Amino acid sequence: MSDVGALGDPALEDALTGLARRRTVLVASDLDGALAEFTRDPADTVPAPGAMLALRGLARLPGTSVAVVSGRDAATLAELTGVRPGDPVALVGSHGAESSVAGVTAQRLDDGQRALLDELTTTVAELIERHRGARLERKRAAVAVHTRGLSDDAEQAALEEAVGLGEGRDDVRVLRGKSVVELSVSHADKGSALLALARVVGAESVFYSGDDVTDEDAFRVLPAADGHVTVKVGDGGTAAEHRVPSVGALVVVVRRLLALRSDLAPGAR
């Protein structure tokens, strides 16, 4: 029985087989909560065992482009994944505002955005002082309030206040995630970035997996009817076509795709 067969999901197995036969594909995934387990301190994150190896294996196959797409900024993403300049694995950071691939999404912050981000960071630092245990993460285009590990009430209070800082403003995008609220001065989204990346690398079909709210932007623009394969990791409502229960199960899926595409990709053998 195949790995995916062991997960008991023949529909996903069929979808992966169909994708593996395509001439050109883009295989992309979110990082935190998808390719990597959550950690209390975001700096402690490491990709799950075998995850990057499977992606690198896919990137070596003909007609196969690979990317990690994350809310992390590009520099942090490179550090966490070990992807270096010239690597065949592409990186898309800051929810689509940064990319290692030319022509995808290189949104430079203007002076006004930089000043706004500084101002937001100061306000969030004050918020953190009032909410014991909450933590600040400064990114290239955003500042985030983290609450993982706090009690439910404490989390809710800090996150609600963070949302209030950006709500109703056209110049700030409020992104709610898992135990995190992010105030971004960029209006990029993962869906637009993935479509741009697919166009640039010439991929006819896309595989995309993710676990969080911002991944829904990607799932929505990748319909199964157009040959795309979308996989939600974990619980919660989703526009994705398929679902797996955990990070470990997603790694099994990516490895399965590697095995199938190694056999079935036009020109692979």
Give least dist CB 175 to ligand L263DTV3, A.
7
73 catalytic? Reply is no
Contacts of 201 (CB under 8 A, 6+ apart): 24, 26, 65, 90, 101
Which among 142-150, 163-171, 234-242, 245-253 is the span making contact with ligand L263DTV3, rule CB under 6 A? 142-150
Which residue lies nearer to ligand L263DTV3 by CB, 29 or 64? 29
Give the amino acid at 210: G
Contacts of 137 (CB under 8 A, 6+ apart): 42, 143, 144, 146, 180
Does 13 sit near ligand L263DTV3 (CB under 6 A)?
no
Binding pattern for the stretch 22-51 against ligand L263DTV3, x by CB under 6 A and - elsewhere: --------xxxx----xxx-x--x------
Q: Give how far Cα 3 sits from Cα of 154, 212, 230, Å.
A: 40, 24, 18
Which residue lies nearer to ligand L263DTV3 by CB, 20 or 51? 51
State which H helix or E strand residue 182 sits in.
Answer: strand 180-184
Contacts of 150 (CB under 8 A, 6+ apart): 131, 133, 134, 158, 179
Binding pattern for the stretch 198-227 against ligand L263DTV3, x by CB under 6 A and - elsewhere: --------------x-x-------------
Token duo for residue 60: 């070596």
Distance CA 200, CA 198 (A): 6
Does 177 sit near ligand L263DTV3 (CB under 6 A)?
yes
Crossing angle (nearest 10°) for helices 247-264 and 10-20: 40
Give least dist CB 129 to ligand L263DTV3, A.
20
Crossing angle (nearest 10°) for helices 152-166 and 111-130: 150
Give least dist CB 113 to ligand L263DTV3, A.
18
Token duo for residue 99: 């990319």
Give least dist CB 231 to ligand L263DTV3, A.
14
Give least dist CB 97 to ligand L263DTV3, A.
12
Choose, from 9, 14, 30, 217, the residue flagged as catalytic: 30
Our measurement of the distance from residue 186's CA atom to the centroid of its chain's CA atoms, rounded to an integer in Å, reads: 16
Distance CA 141, CA 187 (A): 10
Does 166 sit near ligand L263DTV3 (CB under 6 A)?
no
Does 57 sit near ligand L263DTV3 (CB under 6 A)?
no
Task: Return the residue nearest ligand L263DTV3 (CB atom).
Answer: 71
Contact of 2 with 256, CB cutoff 8 Å: yes
Contact of 95 with 185, CB cutoff 8 Å: no
Which residue lies nearer to ligand L263DTV3 by CB, 65 or 81? 81
Taking CB under 6 A as the criterion, the residue among 9, 98, 155, 182 binding ligand L263DTV3 is 182
Does 70 sit near ligand L263DTV3 (CB under 6 A)?
yes
Does 189 sit near ligand L263DTV3 (CB under 6 A)?
no
Q: Which residues are catalytic?
A: 30
